[in-house]
Amino acid sequence: MKVLANDGISQSGVDALQQAGFKVITTKVAQEQLENFINENHVDVLLVRSATTVRQDLIDACPSLKVIGRGGVGMDNIDVEYARSKGLHVINTPAASSSSVAELVFAHLYGGVRFLHDANRNMSLDGDSKFKELKKAYGGGTELRGKTIGIIGFGRIGREVAKIALGVGMKVIASDKFVGKAGIKVEFYNGQYINVEIETEPVEDIFKHADFITLHVPAQKEYVIGKKEIEAMKDGVGIINAARGGVIDEVALVNALDSGKVSFAGLDVFEDEPRPAVKVLMHPKVSLTPHIGAATKEAQDRIGTELASQIVSILKTETV
């Protein structure tokens, strides 16, 4: 059986699949050529991340496909229900990259409260000639400890964010349409840990009380945060989005950054990927990363081995 990992897969995933007797193809096939490649090579399994889309037309045109796998959490680039209605297995790895995304959230948070993103830009330009001026400009940072973080979307990633926040000494509040409360286990060394139960609140309370807001929701038809929502927030709030592009109205966000209503934003995802708006990219109060939330070596290893395990379980069982 053949597996096409069109957006790549870790070597640990390749090894696990090969050991189970699968042929793994890691050639990157352009979207418009994907149908022909799958049919010509009789591909059984198509693995994607966020770059490749698997829509109804591709599913209909490729009868050899038995499994579609998404390395990561969100599956908005796959017509999941349609694929399943056609008898295909659709799998993902919802837990594998949660801690990686959560750590990136805090990279943006720490960078934002200490102006690291902007200081790095300007130190390389003027650090030798305007050192004292830059020291004064970036000398008014704030601490995260004791502040309130509001988590919108309290699934696996949101809970990993909560773990780090509790460890940092932050107050954690959360909102989720489908989760009433969740137990958060914060582990330390030598087997020590604490358990904290967090009850979710209406999102309006998050806007009202949070010093920092981070989103962990799937793709939406409407903005989760737009002009009205920003107006309801505390003055000087910081906003992080490492979820999906399009859940924040970027025009409203830029206006709020300009007015000072929002003190900074950390964005890993954008409305117009892979060509984000220039006003967002150039804004001095925005910390930027190119959709790398799950892009750690550890997460990719977990994703690869989890996908391999699911594929082997599905297809080896069906052939018995």
Query: Which residues are catalytically annotated?
Result: 244, 273, 291
Residues in Cβ contact with 93 at an 8 Å cutoff, skipping those fewer than 6 apart: 70, 71, 72, 73, 302, 303, 306, 307
Half-sphere exposure of 27 (CA within 13 A, CB side): 12
Residue 126 has which token pair?
């003027």
Taking residue 82's Cβ as centre, other Cβ atoms within 10 Å add up to 15
DSSP 234: P
Tokens 């998404």 correspond to: 70
- Does residue 255 contact residue 234 with C-beta atoms inside 8 Å? no
Tokens 């999906």 correspond to: 244
- Does residue 29 contact residue 35 with C-beta atoms inside 8 Å? no
Q: Please, what sign has the CA dihedral across residues 49, 50, 51, 55?
A: positive
Can you point out the beta strands (E) in the chain?
A: 2-5, 23-25, 45-48, 67-70, 89-92, 148-152, 171-175, 181-187, 193-199, 212-215, 237-241, 262-267, 286-288
Cα-based distances in Å from 11 to 15, 27, 302, 308: 6, 14, 11, 11
Residues in Cβ contact with 85 at an 8 Å cutoff, skipping those fewer than 6 apart: none
First to last CA, the chain: 14
Tokens 């130190």 correspond to: 123
